[in-house]
A and B are shown apart, each in its own frame.
Chain A
Amino acid sequence: MQIRTLGITLADGQIIRVPFIVSSSLYNSTDFISNNYSKIDDAEIESLFNSFFSGNRAFVRTLPIIYYDDGLLNEYSIERLKHFFPNSYSFSYDDPTLIKIFGNYTWGALIDGNDNVGGRFYGNVNDYIGQQFPVINSDYNRYGNDKSFSCSGTISVIPDDAVVNDELVFNSEIFHRGMITLHFGVSHRYGNGYTDTTWLSFIISEGPKYSSLLDSATGTKVPIYNPDDPYNPGGYTGPEGGNGSYDDGTSDDIASKLPNGSTENDTSSNGLFTRYIVNSSQLSALGDFLWADTAGGALQLGLAQQLFGQISDSIISLVSYPFSLADMAGQVQPIRLGCLALLDISEMSIVSAPVLNVNGYQHDWGTIQVGTSPTYFDNFIDYSGHTKISLYLPWGTGFVDLDPAEVNGKVIGVKTNFEFSKGTCVHTVTLGGHVIGTYSGVCGKQLPITSGSPALGAAALAGAAVASGVGLSFAPVPQPTPPAAPSTNAIGPGTSIGPWLGSTPSIQTNPARLTGDWRRGARVGNLLSSMASRVSRSGSFQEGNAGLGIQQPFLVYARPDMKVPKDYAHFHGYPSNITGTVSAAGSGNYFEVGEVHLDGVPCTDVEGAEIDAILKGGAIW
């Protein structure tokens, strides 16, 4: 056999060099040639190679590079090589001088153990071009004319700094990272019953930083290991998954379909209700308007019940938000309670406030990468059952759990849509253009317009009004106007509610009655109990804790602490689920097999069972 290297120019222009073996002595079978050279499906090999060269990931691939050759690379074998590479990659034969190799091999006749030999080699790849491995020529004949032998081993392309003073400083874990390792195995049997069973399989293993390896060919150092990797040196895993259908089609960017709250269905002011952004002084004026002593004296008995009901009922909600809404303020308008303008009793002026000019609002909290990419441990611990990833969403939503399998290493975003009638909000969590969760919250605190005490006061107010016969008087500012003419709608002595039903707050009663304490009515009794029942609560503090929590989303990772003892892999091995030949375990490496087919092992049943048990229990190649 001869060692050659081939250079393969990748799509990005990089050249990867892979050692391979050219052999002529093993393939003299005519049937072998006519049988399309290989018992391995060529299409599968092509697919595997495509997947490797299209991504910068580690891989373990079985590559049967088979040459029927005179020992030299010729046009025929090049054509054969091309068969394994798609047209998107150019192929060139090369003998790089900067790439060194390290290898070991064993070979021997399966039957005649005396022929088992082995060895190691390392050096510049050019030193091995044309060199012959020991060729087995066992004539031992146990089963008629059956002759059998095998040869297996590894060849690794190594970075230059793995060689110190012409000696290979071999560390199977450190220096193999980023290397291309070619595991080769040859099994050949011929003779009675075994003609044409020659096959040669290779497994090329390649670490995560193969591009760095390429750099090594030009003198760039190769990163030895990532100290953050608890496996030290660790690295990426081999291939996984079943080449599924990858049905990752999706509709248009669903996340972009989210309402932004600013324009759609804008009902901020529509004739049925109006939203005002009020401040504390305006709210105080409202309170005075409803309850202040100065107003009480002006209440007219016949009007009290109806007025009070109308005023309070006209207030749909009063919601406090823990953030400023100044940016959403529209035109400043008089605050109207139904058909009444809110009057600042103390100032005798109409209270105005900016109208909320949006129906809703959307806040974009931005994005965050969940963990690192690759993930923190880059193993199973990063996922459910071990790692918990929670997303805190403000305003009563609290912590929601995210599925690590869904979000690990990816970027998620959070947007919150607010509506301003009830002070609710909806948080939308997106992953790319996909919505992966929506969660409701309550950002607004419903403030009680009335409560038990004011209700009682209102009842007293009514009672007082009834007893004293006072009327309610409202005066537009700044100049009081003469009392309006009594109308048929008058419900109390000296009171007209006609103007209340009009379109302007021009109700006018005797200003002289704008004095007195309505609470005095409590002393005159005769509560209108039915009035109390009409006083509605428009809110509750039970949902009003929005401002008490952290008002900003954040992620919380809870990860276990992984403890990896030294040489863990040599005692236990890492989980695997990969098919290969036993020799692919690598020289000196521990392994366990889930299943093994003892094809071509000329042993007894008892021996076969023992081999099976040992390999499943753990062995070292």
Chain B
Amino acid sequence: MNITGYIYSGEPNRINKELELAFTFTGKARNECSVLNPTILVESGNISAMNYFYISDFGRYYYVTELTCVREGVWAISGHVDVLMTYAGAIGSCPCIFSRAENKQLANLYLPDDRLNITSKQVIRQNFLSGGAMDIGEPSMILTVAG
């Protein structure tokens, strides 16, 4: 099967990954081969820099989970499917309810944000009303009497 090896240095949780093409080679499955967690034997030079690969026969991208030099020129590549990159296009069309989003157009900042740090420091401000104080003048007394 055809295998394309990449070097990926981005975040693993990034759906659309920008991959740096590193190697292309053919290989074969070692014994029974899981599609989701395959181990492939390939004949190649030093591929230790590779950390990501694609198997066209499986139609999936994989993270390299283990890279074993079986003997000189023969490598065993174990991987785990990267479901994000593999199904990136379809995932993008999936309807969802965003709970958090960096895109501010999707944000509602009136919702409580329990991750935001708020210090106990209080900022105090005082303001009088527009009418200002009463014209106090001289204090007065009112005597209320019967009659």
Q: Decide: A326 and B144 in contact? CB cutoff 8 A.
A: no
Name B95's contact: one of A319, A447, A565, A597 (CB within 8 Å).
Answer: A597
A283 touches B134 (CB 8 A): no
Is the interface on chain A under 10, 10 to 19, 20 to 34, or 35 or more residues? Answer: 35 or more
Which one of A46-54, A469-477, A609-617 contacts B?
A: A609-617
Bound-state CA distance A370–B37 (Å) is 60
A447 and B141 in contact, given A187-B90, A593-B98, A619-B84 (Cβ under 8 angstroms): yes
- Number of B interface residues, CB 8 Å? 77
With both beta carbons as reference points, the residue of chain A lying nearest to B109 in the complex is identified as A379
- Whether A323 contacts B95 by the Cβ 8 Å rule is no
Report whether A324 and B89 are in contact in the complex, using a CB–CB cutoff of 8 Å. no
CA distance A614 to B131 in the complex (A): 58
Whether the pair A314, B146 counts as a contact (CB closer than 8 A) is yes
What's the least CB distance linking A439 to chain B, in Å?
15
- B93 and A150: CB pair below 8 A? yes
Interface residues of B in 51-100 (CB under 8 A from A): 54, 56, 59-61, 81, 83-100
Among residues 394 to 427 in chain A, which have CB atoms less than 8 Å away from a CB atom of chain B? 413-414, 420-421, 423
Q: Which residues of A contact B31 (CB under 8 A)?
A: none
Q: From the candidates B81, B130, B133, name the one contacting A551 in the complex (CB within 8 A).
A: B133
Does A584 reach chain B (CB closer than 8 Å)?
yes
Question: Which chain A residues border B99 with CB–CB below 8 Å?
Answer: 575-577, 592-594, 616
Determine if A320 and B92 form an interchain contact, defined as CB atoms under 8 angstroms apart. no
Q: Which listed segment binds B: A26-34, A481-489, A598-606?
A: A598-606
**Given B88, B103, B112, B133, which contacts A584 in the complex, CB threshold below 8 Å?**
B103
A292 at the binding interface (Cβ < 8 Å): no
Enumerate A443-477 residues with CB–CB distance to B below 8 Å: 444, 447
Question: B residues within 8 A CB of A578?
Answer: 97-98, 101, 106, 108
Does B136 lie within 8 Å of A322, measured CB to CB?
A: yes
Closest chain B residue to A610, Cβ basis: B83
CA distance A413 to B131 in the complex (A): 9
Q: Is the CB of A318 within 8 A of B143?
A: yes
Tell me, rounded to whole Å, the shortest Cβ–Cβ distance linking A469 to chain B: 30
Chain B contacts with A in 8-25, Cβ cutoff 8 A? 11, 13-16
Contact of A558 among B35, B105, B122, B129 (CB under 8 A): B122
Contact call B87/A585, Cβ cutoff below 8 A: no
The answer to whether the Cβ of A205 comes within 8 Å of any Cβ in the partner chain is yes
Q: Is A582's beta carbon under 8 Å from chain B?
A: yes
Inter-subunit contact A556/B125 (CB<8 Å): yes
**Inter-chain contact A562/B118, CB cutoff 8 Å:** yes
**Is A255 located at the chain interface by the 8 A CB criterion?**
no
What is the chain B residue whose CB lies nearest that of A136? B89
Give 1 or 0 for each of A358-386: 1 = CB within 8 Å of chain B CB. Answer: 00000111111000000001111101001
A606 touches B36 (CB 8 A): yes
Given A367-B129, A561-B121, A607-B87, also A621-B92 (CB < 8 A): yes
Question: Nearest chain-B residue to A386 (Cβ)?
Answer: B118
Q: Complex Cα distance A129/B123, Å? A: 53
> Given contacts A237-B109, A569-B104, A619-B84, is CB(A325)–CB(B127) below 8 Å?
no
Q: Does A557 lie within 8 Å of B145, measured CB to CB?
A: no
CB distance A563 to B93 under 8 Å?
no
Among A63-71, A83-91, A109-117, the stretch that binds chain B is A109-117
Q: Check A513 for interface membership: any CB of B closer than 8 A.
A: no
Interface stretch (choices A211-219, A242-250, A330-338)? A330-338
Chain B residue nearest in CB terms to A412: B129
Query: Considering residues B61, B91, B111, B129, which has the most beta carbons from chain A within 10 angstroms of its beta carbon?
Result: B91
Contacts of B106 on A, CB cut-off 8 Å? 60, 205, 238, 574, 576, 578, 580, 584-586, 591
| B90 contacts A152, C-beta separation under 8 Å | no
Q: Is A185 an interface residue (CB 8 A)?
A: yes
Contact between chains at B94 and A598 (CB < 8 Å): yes
A221 part of interface (Cβ distance < 8 Å): no
Q: Decide yes or no whether B29 CB sits under 8 A from chain A.
A: no
- Asked whether, in the complex, the Cβ of A576 is within 8 Å of the Cβ of B96, the reply is no
For residue B34, give the distance in angstroms from its CB to the closest CB of chain A. 10
The answer for the CA separation of A563 and B95 in the assembled complex, in Å, is 33
Instruction: Tell me if A585 and B101 are in contact (CB < 8 A).
Output: yes
> Do A579 and B130 form a contact, CB below 8 Å, given A569-B104, A619-B14?
no
The yes or no answer to B32 lying at the interface (CB within 8 A) is no
Q: What are the residues of chain A within 8 A of B16 when measuring CB–CB? A: 106, 118, 587, 621
Considering residues A58, A110, A587, which has the most beta carbons from chain B within 10 angstroms of its beta carbon? A110
Does A301 touch B at the CB level, under 8 Å?
Answer: no
Known: A554-B127, A592-B100. A620 touches B143 (CB 8 A): no
In the complex, A589 has a CB within 8 A of chain B: yes
Min C-beta distance of A504 to chain B, whole Å: 12
Say which residue of B88, B100, B104, B147 sits within 8 Å of A273 (CB atoms): B147
Assuming the contacts A324-B135, A380-B110, asked whether A590 and B102 have C-beta atoms less than 8 A apart, the reply is yes
Smallest CB gap from B125: residue in A: A557
Contact B103 A315 (CB under 8 A): no
Q: Would you call B115 and A572 a contact (CB within 8 A)?
A: yes
Contact A554/B105 with A110-B87, A560-B119 known, Cβ cut-off 8 Å: no
A167-192 toward B: CB 8 Å interface, digit per residue (1/0)? Answer: 00000010010000100011100000
Contacts of A520 in B (CB 8 A): none
Q: Is A548's beta carbon under 8 Å from chain B?
A: no
A278 touches B142 (CB 8 A): yes
Interface status of A316 (Cβ within 8 A of chain B): yes
B1 located at the interface, meaning its Cβ lies under 8 Å from any Cβ of chain A in the complex:
no
Asked if A353 is at the interface of the complex by the 8 Å CB criterion, the answer is yes
> Which of A423, A574, A587 lies at the interface centre, i.e. has the most chain B CB atoms within 10 A of its CB?
A574
Contact indicator B83/A278 (Cβ below 8 Å): no
B119's closest neighbor in chain A, by CB? Answer: A561
Q: Could you say which residues of chain B place their CB within 8 Å of the CB of A379?
A: 109-110, 113
Q: Which one, A318, A368, A562, A610, contacts B144 given CB within 8 A? A: A318
In the complex, the answer to whether B83 meets A607 with C-beta atoms within 8 Å is yes
The answer to whether A276 touches B125, judged by C-beta atoms less than 8 angstroms apart, is no
Jot down 25 A-B pairs with beta carbons below 8 A, ordered by A. A108-B89, A142-B59, A149-B89, A152-B92, A187-B89, A273-B146, A315-B144, A321-B140, A338-B147, A353-B143, A365-B131, A367-B129, A420-B144, A560-B121, A569-B102, A573-B102, A575-B113, A576-B111, A578-B101, A591-B102, A592-B101, A593-B98, A595-B97, A596-B95, A616-B99
Question: Can you name 8 extra interface pairs (CB under 8 A) apart from A315-B143, A553-B129, A596-B97?
Answer: A238-B108, A324-B136, A326-B137, A556-B126, A558-B122, A575-B99, A586-B102, A595-B97
Q: Name B residues whose Cβ lies closer than 8 Å to a Cβ of A.
A: 11, 13-16, 35-36, 54, 56, 59-61, 81, 83-113, 115-147
Q: 4 closest A-B pairs (Cβ-Cβ)?
A: A366-B131, A324-B137, A573-B100, A574-B107
